Amino acid sequence: MKFVDEYRDADLAKKLSEEIARVSQGRPLKIMEVCGGHTHTIYKYGIEDVLPPNIDLIHGPGCPVCVIPMGRIDDAHAIAREPDVIFTTFGDMMRVPGSRGALLDAKAEGADVRFVYSPLDALKLAKLNPDKRVVFFAIGFETTAPSTALTLLRAQAEDVKNFSVFCNHVNILPAIKALLDSPDLRLDGFVGPGHVSTIIGCEPYRFIPEKYGKPVVMSGFEPLDVIQAIYMLVKQIAQERRQVENQYSRVVRWEGNLKALEILARVFELRPFFEWRGLGFINHSAMKLRGEFAAWDAELLFDVPGLRVADPKACQCGEVLKGVIKPWECKVFGTACTPETPIGTCMVSSEGACAAYYNYGRFSIASQRRALVAEQAPEMRVH
């Protein structure tokens, strides 16, 4: 099959792994894959078990569902329970728990909560239900923000006043900076988020090698994409280079998608602060609607509590998102917390690290493998 099987060639993957072992020469290296899509590729195809044991893959905060804090879920609950509201969102967000339960619980209790495939579906609902107030729960990184922006521009052009957006779009770069500034995590390089980079390009990542001395390689999502990106990182480290490189050049442009960036700038502006699950409040790390779109801003149209809600004590999603622990090290992983009964967001989302471990059965293999490596080289443990 052209351009699919070519990226899943087991023999080539083995050769690349051998080259990674040769170039790294057994040096312990911690590499973070920022995007949750990469995490699922890694465990679906067993990439971690193909790589030499000195390469330790750390999971980052690149899952847009996972990083939404419980307080914002409670805000969504409050809006959804308002009279005459049809509250719409993507499927994953229906099951994310807040302090009052998930949006599915609100639906069971009588709220009109519906999942949609795009914000345009929500706008269509608003046109079909002029006597209702239709709200779209907008989440995601720069990848999905353009579709929300375009929908708002259409709602403005068509003067659809019963449609609004509860905006929770976030920006990946401030989160990476927060991780790099964290004293409890040591990293040697980053597998850059491919989907986000199709929008923002490669240029914005230059601060990572220039200020922090860490290499970054943008990667696609097939198995050989990820392995090649890791090889490119290891090669940079061996040659004592620190650069931004683009493995995903068939999709990602250095300057990004200029039209999409223009649309984002027209509709959104940066929030001074926004809370991330596990990372706390990060400056200018999220988007909000500009003033000219106030008539479609759910945060202005509804009484949103805006309270900060602490995560359940048993849940360690925050540590997983920061890369401090692996999912299988969480006390409730696979027992009290499963995809059917999730306690935290990392087990809910289709891009969550915990869901990847659980669904693909990697946690048992990974724990055995890491335990063996830790015995052989205690300094390789995650701190």
DSSP structure string for 47-114? HHHHS-TTEEEEEEEE-TTTTS-HHHHHHHHHHHTSTTEEEEE-TGGGG--BTTB-HHHHHHTT-EEE
307 and 349 housed in the same domain: no
Q: Is 154 helix (H, G, I), strand (E, B) or coil?
A: helix
121 and 259 housed in the same domain: yes
Contact (Cβ atoms closer than 8 angstroms) between residue 89 and residue 65: no
Q: Which of 313, 343, 359 is the last residue of a domain?
A: 313
Q: Print pLDDT tens along the chain (383 aa).
A: 567 888 899 999 999 999 999 999 999 999 999 999 999 999 999 998 899 999 999 998 888 889 999 999 999 999 999 999 999 999 989 999 888 889 999 999 999 999 999 999 999 999 999 999 999 999 999 999 999 999 999 999 999 999 999 999 999 999 999 999 988 778 999 999 999 999 999 999 999 999 999 999 999 999 999 999 999 999 999 999 999 999 999 999 999 999 999 999 999 999 999 999 878 899 999 999 999 999 999 999 999 998 888 888 888 888 888 888 888 889 899 889 988 888 888 998 878 899 988 888 755 554 454 455 555 554 444 33
234 and 293 housed in the same domain: yes
Name which of 187, 201, 134, 138 is nearest 163 in CA terms.
134
16 is a domain residue: yes
The total domain count for the chain is 2
The encoded tokens of residue 91 equal 């499927």
260 and 189 housed in the same domain: yes
Contact (Cβ atoms closer than 8 angstroms) between residue 64 and residue 351: yes
**Distance from C-alpha of 315 to C-alpha of 342, rounded to nearest angstrom:** 10
Question: φ, ψ for residue 141 (rounded to 5)?
Answer: -80, -165
Q: Which of 286, 313, 340 is the last residue of a domain?
A: 313
382 is a domain residue: no
Q: What is the CATH number of the domain that holds 103?
A: 3.40.50.11740
Q: What angle do CA 120, 122, 128 make, to 5 degrees?
A: 105
Maximum alpha-carbon separation in the chain: 67
CB contact set of 150 (below 8 Å; sequence gap of 6+): 263
Domain that holds residue 344: 317-376
pLDDT of residue 362: 55
pLDDT of residue 379: 45
Which DSSP symbol is given to 174?
H
Q: Which of 313, 342, 358 is the last residue of a domain?
A: 313
270 and 249 housed in the same domain: yes
Name which of 43, 74, 12 is nearest 302 in CA terms.
74
291 is a domain residue: yes
Query: Looking at the chain, which runs of residues are DSSP E strands?
Result: 29-35, 55-62, 85-89, 112-115, 133-140, 163-169, 189-192, 216-218, 244-246, 268-270, 273-276, 280-283, 287-289
Distances, alpha carbon 67 to alpha carbons 38, 96, 273, 279, in Å: 16, 11, 14, 8
209 is a domain residue: yes
328 and 270 housed in the same domain: no
191 is a domain residue: yes
* CA end-to-end span of the chain: 43
118 is a domain residue: yes
DSSP string, 258-271: HHHHHHHHHHEEE-
231 and 351 housed in the same domain: no
324 and 297 housed in the same domain: no
212 is a domain residue: yes
381 is a domain residue: no
pLDDT of residue 376: 53
299 and 370 housed in the same domain: no
Contact (Cβ atoms closer than 8 angstroms) between residue 85 and residue 135: yes
230 and 342 housed in the same domain: no
309 and 333 housed in the same domain: no
Name which of 347, 343, 321 is nearest 62 in CA terms.
321
Q: Which residues does residue 274 pair with via DSSP β-bridges, in sequence order?
A: 282
pLDDT of residue 287: 97
Name which of 245, 252, 249 is nearest 231 in CA terms.
245
Tell me which residue has tokens 């929770």. 168
Q: Is 31 helix (H, G, I), strand (E, B) or coil?
A: strand
245 and 260 housed in the same domain: yes
- The one-letter code for the residue type at 101 is G
